[in-house]
Structure 1
Amino acid sequence: YTGFYSEMVEYLQKSWEYSSFLPVGTVINWIDSFTGFFENVGDDLDADRLAKTSEWQDLMSWVISHSEVS
């Protein structure tokens, strides 16, 4: 892991408006992209470790709040 969780969140939030996927699909796409990155460097994505970070948890709360229909 690069350890730049805050920057990751910032860029994922910026990318949100450009996603052609529904909210759940967007998150799945992010995870698929992370998985591909780790495979390219010969490693495995530790999704549990990522999910336990406060930054990821805050991002998922942000996703939920931006997914609600007004």
Structure 2
Amino acid sequence: MKILLFGITKEIIGSSTLDFTIDQTDLTSETLLDILKEKYPELSKLRSIALAVNGEHANGSEIVSDKDEIALIPPMSGG
């Protein structure tokens, strides 16, 4: 699957995209995020990370596959 990275997530992983292969079926978007946090521990330090699956906001329960495009959306800052 293709994972799009923005802001601090892009800095942590060192690229704006990540090609990620999974061999697990029935993988939820929340579990995918947990796997990414395990592989890239710096992601765990972020207050929150929103996910989008194929351009739609994800709530964590969506089943994802290698055909999907995932976006990791870091916390927004500003004032």
> TM-score, normalised on structure 2?
0.36
Higher relative contact order (CA 8 A, sep 6+): 2
> TM-score, normalised on structure 1?
0.39
Rg larger for: 1
Higher helix share: 1
